[in-house]
Chains A and B, each alone.
Chain A
């Protein structure tokens, strides 16, 4: 689309041709089960382990820590349910930031409903959690603490090393899950240096297929599988491996690792231009931290404009974005992250999310800025709420 702008890469992003080519080979002439004893199992087995090496290198982990999943959502579920299930000796209480991914919040609430405790720790107006507050929420029976690296709605990055250090100082045995499902591949992730027990990875941010992901688990963390019944992934994720997807994820991880600082600089520069253009429209605010945010991630709220209407209006002009509260907009509820940073209606319901990649052009950014100004003006002209 020459006149449009695709700025919805967190939802879906085109695969690099090298990633697609690697994947397609395993949908064509290459086949076989990694578990087979015969010769047709050798190449799949080697491809699987090569991808494990590649993903581990991106995540700052050892290859044997990597468990491939069907995406970040499964990895989040596996982390919370698996670590709680295998560490009941520690207790059943969970501590999490109030701005976790909705999938993490959902599985934590399920654990609470099943008899465990749950405390959500609030954040400041930029979405940053105080590591001391996180540690202060730990109880004698806290088994698990969850910290999201990059918040998917507002984009704020947490100081993960400080959070993990505070949690370890207060309760060394607590299991710590860091959710890098929206950041790996875009920002540095280092499971070993972070001292996390588990790190969530998602294919989308890495540049792989969006139905791929992994959970990185340190040895001795103790984990129950969600899907049992086979030897695949060390018994922690039974069932046939998605070899095409896993191979693609591995190649994407290699590509993401190479030149990440340069790409991040470009994405930040593009995002800065976009943000300045959007904020030039009256009564528009940036949500989340201005500096400590996922590269290429911009979420704004436009007063007296409903977020979904704005996203649809922009789509009609060829500009692809997401409503800022896509997960909850149909129920008329605000995204928890927006409430957590203290926003109230109408700001909670007027958010739109732009996600850029290094492949985004300056022209796309300029077209998005122009379309945004026009769409906001058009919708405000129709709104009875506009002052």
Chain B
């Protein structure tokens, strides 16, 4: 398992956080862990739902200051559609602004 990669979705609203982690997961390898920083309260519903539908594993989702920290292990093979700027770019996805 490689070091966790951070997706900063702070200050963005549904559906942007889920788009960002989906993009990152598509560019990741099985076993990679992605940390999602978010402060949209809907993430409490959206992240578990996305993990369920996408087949990735939700390790934890907890309050983190005024926001949330979600940790997801990528369990499915990379779909070759991860995006650094474009959803079609097969190279590893970029984190959300750092």
A residues near B (Cβ < 8 Å) are 34-37, 41-42, 44-46, 48-49, 52, 63-65, 67, 82, 85-86, 88-89, 198, 216-225, 228, 230-231, 233-237
Contacts and interface: CB of A to CB of B under 8 A. Distances in A.
A34 B86 contact: yes
Contact of B97 (A35, A36, A236): A236
Contacts of B51: none
A221 B66 contact: no
Most buried by B among A65, A230, A235, A237: A235
A191 B23 CA distance: 25
B54 interface: no
Contacts, number: 111
Given A234-B20, A234-B95, A236-B97, A219 B8 contact: yes
A224 B66 contact: no
Given A217-B98, A233-B97, A222 B10 contact: yes
B72 interface: no
Contacts of B91: 49
Interface in B68-97: 83-89, 91, 94-97
Contacts of A86: 8, 10-11, 39, 67
B59 interface: no
Contacts of B20: 231, 234-235
A35 B11 contact: no
B12 A222 contact: no
B23 to A, nearest CB: 8
A305 B19 CA distance: 59
B37 interface: yes
A89 B85 contact: no
A221 B96 CA distance: 11
A236 B96 contact: yes
Contacts of B23: 231
A44 B20 CA distance: 19
Interface of B: 5-13, 16-17, 19-20, 23, 37, 39, 65-67, 83-89, 91, 94-98
The B contact surface, by secondary structure, is loop
A225 B12 contact: yes
Most buried by B among A36, A49, A67: A49
B97 A67 contact: yes
A234 B88 contact: no
A235 B97 contact: yes
Given A48-B86, A217-B8, 20 more contacts: A45-B88, A49-B84, A49-B89, A49-B91, A64-B94, A64-B98, A67-B98, A82-B11, A198-B98, A216-B98, A219-B6, A219-B8, A223-B10, A223-B97, A223-B98, A225-B97, A228-B13, A231-B20, A235-B11, A235-B16
Nearest to B86: A45
B35 to A, nearest CB: 8
Contacts of A236: 8, 11, 96-98
A220 B34 CA distance: 12
Contacts of A217: 8, 97-98
B67 to A, nearest CB: 8
A246 B23 CA distance: 22
A235 B83 CA distance: 13
A64 B66 CA distance: 25
Contacts of A52: 84-85, 94
Given A228-B13, A234-B8, A222 B37 contact: yes
Contacts of B16: 230-231, 235
B65 A41 contact: no
Given A89-B66, A223-B98, A231-B20, A46 B89 contact: yes
A65 B97 CA distance: 6
Given A46-B89, A234-B97, A228 B6 contact: no
B86 A41 contact: yes
A85 B85 contact: no
A225 B11 contact: yes
Contact of B8 (A34, A44, A89, A223): A223
B56 to A, nearest CB: 19
Most buried by A among B85, B91, B94: B85
Given A48-B85, A49-B85, A219-B5, A228 B98 contact: no
Given A233-B97, A235-B96, A85 B84 contact: no
